[in-house]
Amino acid sequence: MQQLTYLGPGSLEWQDVPAPEGPGPGEALVRPLAVATRDLDRVILAGGAAFFPPPFPFGHEGVGAVVDVGAGVDLAAGQLVSIPFEISCGDCAACRRGHDAHCERVPRLSTYGMGDGARRYGGFLSDLVRVPFAPHMLVPLPEGVSAAQVASLSDNIPDAYRTVAGPLAENPGAAVLVCGGTGSIDLSAVALALALGAERVDYACDNADLRERAGALGATVVADAFPERLGPYPITVAACLDRAGLQCALRSTEPEGACTSIGIYVEAETPVPLFEMYTNGIEFHTGRVMARAIIPELLELAAAGRLHSEQVTSRIVPWDNAADAVGVAETKLVVTR
């Protein structure tokens, strides 16, 4: 079969590789049909993610069609399924708490399309992927929801959703500040916050294209850089990879408010205004998204017409163009066949 392989900065290549074996008991073979780039892909392709050394199979977000299943898997051939990027069993203590990113039955950071996890499980830009723990991992798409519409449900859309859904459930109608820059996650956070009833969403970012797109989604652009503070806001989102953006989001959170950061900071030290956070009682959350636990809620939103991920998608390209298209810096590319 063919597999798109990341060989190093700026280098992707279709390669002929053995098809995955199986499916064994509890497993499924799935043919990816719609695969989305995620925000970290741009960093990897630019050589800025040394913690994921090449080579490895590429493709981290996707929807596929079931090809074959092993014993104990009640899915039909041809059924469309969303595939979370993190491998999880659904049955260990961590998974039962909804912490699928920390599944106790697989090695740490077991994911599709990234580093050692990809070398073990493959990537979605392939003719086939093997899915372990398939009854738990694979989430069937509702009637009327297309593969391209929810291609990014594996990672980035849940990542955006968790920044605003929980805080808005606790504080309905609250105003939200998004300090952006990652790309699709901050734009999705804008759209989801408004869909979930936020009074307004304000947006700060030093990227002119993202500011324009956030405004088109309904956000009010309040800054073209990251000042020391904005607000205050009950809910803030640090959807950026910039220390200034992180600090702005934290300082802009009102007393007893909530701030969520989805950024990955690999420096030895990342300064935060901890004393100010302490005196204001800021609730701060950072860490990997638990995508599998969130996917069913998002599919319900999609089926109800409240999730419009196509507004964040930059471009849809055919499968054969993936090697060239994925290397172009875009907010959200979807590859289909």
Positive/negative CA dihedral, 271, 276, 277, 279? positive
Q: Which residue has the tokens 């912490």?
A: 99
User: Is the model's pLDDT at 268 over the cut of 80?
Assistant: no
pLDDT value, residue 269 = 87
The torsion defined by the Cα of 53, 55, 61 and 67, in degrees rounded to 10, comes to -150
CA distance 14 to 209: 31
Same domain assignment for residues 174 and 204: yes
Same domain assignment for residues 294 and 150: yes
pLDDT in tens, 114-135: 989 999 999 999 999 999 999 9
Same domain assignment for residues 26 and 88: yes
User: Is the model's pLDDT at 328 over the cut of 80?
Assistant: no
Q: Are 217 and 211 in contact (CB under 8 A)?
A: no
pLDDT in tens, 273-311: 999 999 999 999 999 999 999 999 999 999 999 998 989
Residues 149-176: what's their mean pLDDT? 97
Same domain assignment for residues 134 and 193: no
CA distance 294 to 301: 11
Q: Are 156 and 38 in contact (CB under 8 A)?
A: yes
Same domain assignment for residues 232 and 183: yes
Same domain assignment for residues 212 and 135: no
User: Is the model's pLDDT at 45 over the cut of 90?
Assistant: no
Same domain assignment for residues 23 and 107: yes
Same domain assignment for residues 144 and 8: yes
Instruction: For 20-51, give the DSSP string.
Output: PP---TT-EEEEEEEEE--HHHHHHHTT--TT
- Domain end residue (candidates: 268, 286, 304): 286
pLDDT value, residue 329 = 67
Same domain assignment for residues 80 and 165: no
- Domain end residue (candidates: 245, 261, 286): 286
What is the CATH number for 266? Answer: 3.40.50.720
Q: Model confidence at 95, in pLDDT bands (50, 70, 90)? A: very high
Same domain assignment for residues 193 and 281: yes
Instruction: For 149-190, give the DSSP string.
Output: GGGGGGTHHHHHHHHHHHHHHHSTT--EEEE--SSHHHHHHH
Q: What domain count does the chain have? A: 2
Same domain assignment for residues 13 and 149: yes
Same domain assignment for residues 18 and 148: yes
What count of Cα atoms within 13 Å lies in the side-chain half-sphere of residue 107? 10
Give residue 248's domain range: 157-286
DSSP secondary structure letter of residue 100 = G
- Domain end residue (candidates: 250, 266, 286): 286
